[in-house]
Amino acid sequence: MSKLSLTTALTAILIVMAWLATPGISRAAINVESPPCNPYDFGEVEVGNSSSITLTISNQGELLWARINVEWKSGSSGDFTTEPPCPCETMLVLNGGVDVLEIIYTPSEPGISLATLLVSISDLFTNEVLSVVEIELSGGVEAKADPEIEIDIRPFSKRNRINLKSRGVVLVAALTDEDFDASTIDPKTVTFAGAKPVRWQVRDVNRDGHKDMLFLFKTQDLVELNEESTEATLAGETTDGQIFHGVDAVNIVPRRLGWSRHSLAPPKHSAIVSTWGKIRAE
Ligand SMILES: [Ca+2]
Ligand SMILES: [Ca+2]
């Protein structure tokens, strides 16, 4: 080893020894950037979408090597994640250096989500914990409580008659208004009087210029209706998880009361198909 490189090595050792000998060594700084605030609220993010911030951990004090440990104190599962994933491998930050951690919020359902990320900084050489910072995270908005929407049972009839002994079908429209966009309904979540829809389509049922959603149910599936029923409920969720319900009057047709044998006969399957086909063709 040359005299110069030996001198350089000795100097480095002396510097390290000086660091180790420094009492009450100052702390590394932790900064949350973009935007710089703690707690941090991601606000409203659509279910399935993501928003992220960058946690910047910088060693700007007098510490030579900072050892950073990051772990979830709460809320580790589900909506909040980090990149790299936590609990993270120990990060080492040299004096003057920085390391970054991305915090990602991906809401899985409507509502408020909370989490706390725990960042601890210690001296690599002495293991002394110098600083512990809790990053409090929140996201989402309060879910609206089951709003009532406007529905229209048998949209082309004001009497809303339902013959529970029929093997026919019942059309029910979920209508769009200024507070609700019926075209966002997830049809697979919809029930009407205990029945699941067998078909559905987006169309402007009441011709107000706004798309509604029209559902077709088999009458024999309306298990929650009986001859005493005066109203029926359509309920479901939108594609982003907002639950809703709507109520409309029904006029249950009494069995065999004033009906001919002909009218009690169940319609043929082909008649059901042609009814829906006619609507689809419009
Ligand atoms: Ca009606
Ligand atoms: Ca409409």
pTM > 0.85: yes or no: no
36-82, pLDDT tens digit by residue?
A: 677 889 998 988 899 999 888 888 878 888 888 888 888 755 799 98
User: Which CATH class name applies to 151-281?
Assistant: mainly beta
Q: How far apart are CA 155 and CA 153, in angstroms?
A: 6
Give the lowest-confidence range in 99-113, 209-223, 256-270: 256-270
pLDDT band of residue 206 (cuts 50, 70, 90) is very high
CA 213 to ligand 2 center in whole angstroms = 8
CA 190 to ligand 2 center in whole angstroms = 19
26-40, pLDDT tens digit by residue?
A: 556 666 665 567 788
pLDDT computed for residue 180 by the predictor? 94
Q: Which ligand is nearest to the CA of 156?
A: 1
CA 146 to ligand 1 center in whole angstroms = 23
Q: Which ligand is nearest to the CA of 157?
A: 1
pLDDT computed for residue 208 by the predictor? 96
pLDDT value at 277 more than 70: no
Through-space distance between the first and last CA atoms of the chain, rounded to whole angstroms: 91
**What superfamily in CATH does domain 26-139 come from?**
Immunoglobulins (2.60.40.10)
pLDDT value at 214 more than 70: yes
142-193, pLDDT tens digit by residue?
A: 767 788 999 999 998 999 999 999 889 999 999 999 989 999 999 999 999 9
Q: Which ligand is nearest to the CA of 181?
A: 2
Start and end residues for every CATH 2.60.40.10 domain found in the chain: 26-139
Q: Which ligand is nearest to the CA of 174?
A: 2
